[in-house]
Amino acid sequence: MITLLLLIGTAILAAILSAIVGMGGGVLLLGVMALLLPPAFVVPLHGIVQLGSNTTRTIVFSPHVNWKLVGLYGPFLTLGVGAAVALWTVGTLEWIRPLIGLFILFFLAVRAWSPTFRNVPLWIYPPLGIIAGLLTIHVGATGPLIAPFFLRDDLDNEGVIATKAMCQSIGHLLKIPSFLLIGFNYLEHGVLLGGLLVAVILGTLLGKRILKHIPREVFVRLFLIVLTLLAVALIGSWFLPNG
C-alpha cells in the first residue's frame, strides 16, 4: 500500500509537470518506479501509464496538434519499435541514457548558437522516429531525446505539448503488443495500473489549468531548463550503481 501511494503521488506530480512543460514527468516516474518495483516490471508498466498520460494530454490539447509532424514521425516510429522487438534481448541498454544526455546538451548548444536549429527541417522527423522506436523498448522514456525537435517557433505552447504527446502516445501504444509478444502479463498488475492511470489523468487536468497562465517566453525558458536538467540526470545515471 505504501508503494502504491508513493507511486500515485509521483504520477500526479509527473503528469502536472508534463502538462506544463511537455516533458520530464515520464523520466521522473520512471526513476521512482525503478526504485520501488522489480526491474522486469518497470518499462512495461511505465509504458501503460505514459500512454494514459500522453493520451490525456493529446485529448485536452487536441486542437493544437500539428498533424504534419505526427504523420512524418509516427509511421517510422512504428518501424523502429518493430525492429526493436525483433532484436529484443533481456535487459536494458543503460549505456544509451548518458549518450542521450550528451546529445541533448549538444543540440541545445547548437540551437542557442544557430537560430536555424529552432526549426529543424522536416526530413529530420522520419529518422528520429526510427531511432526513438528502437530505443523506447529498452530505455523506457525517450521523451527527452525527441523533445528538442518539438520546441519550434511555429508551434505555440499548447502545440509543443500536444504534438509531442501525440507522438509519444503512438510509441507507448506500440509497447503493449510488443511486451505481450515478449510474454509480459499486464493483468497481474491491474490495481497498480488503475491507480496510476487515474493519477496521471488528474495531474494532466491540473497542469492544463496552470499552463494557461504561463507566457511563451516563460514556457520556453522552463522547457530548456527542464530539458537541461534531464540531460544532466541521464549523464549522471552512468555513475550510479546498477545504472
Q: Dump pLDDT digits (tens) for 181-231.
A: 878 888 888 889 999 999 999 999 999 999 888 888 888 888 888 888 878
- Residue 124 neighbours by CB distance under 10 Å: 12
**Which pLDDT score, from 0 to 100, does residue 125 have?**
96
Q: What is the pTM of this model?
A: 0.79
Residues in the chain: 243
Q: What percent of the chain has pLDDT over 90?
A: 30
Q: What sign has the CA pseudo-torsion 178, 183, 188, 192? A: negative
Residue-wise pLDDT for 202-213, tens only, equals: 999 999 999 888
Q: Reduced to 3 DSSP states, what percent helix, strand and coil does the chain have, rounded to the nearest 5?
A: 85, 0, 15
Tell which phi-psi region holds residue 141, choosing left (phi > 0), alpha (psi between -120 and 50) or beta.
beta
Structure confidence at residue 243 (pLDDT): 47
Give pLDDT < 50 ranges for the chain.
243
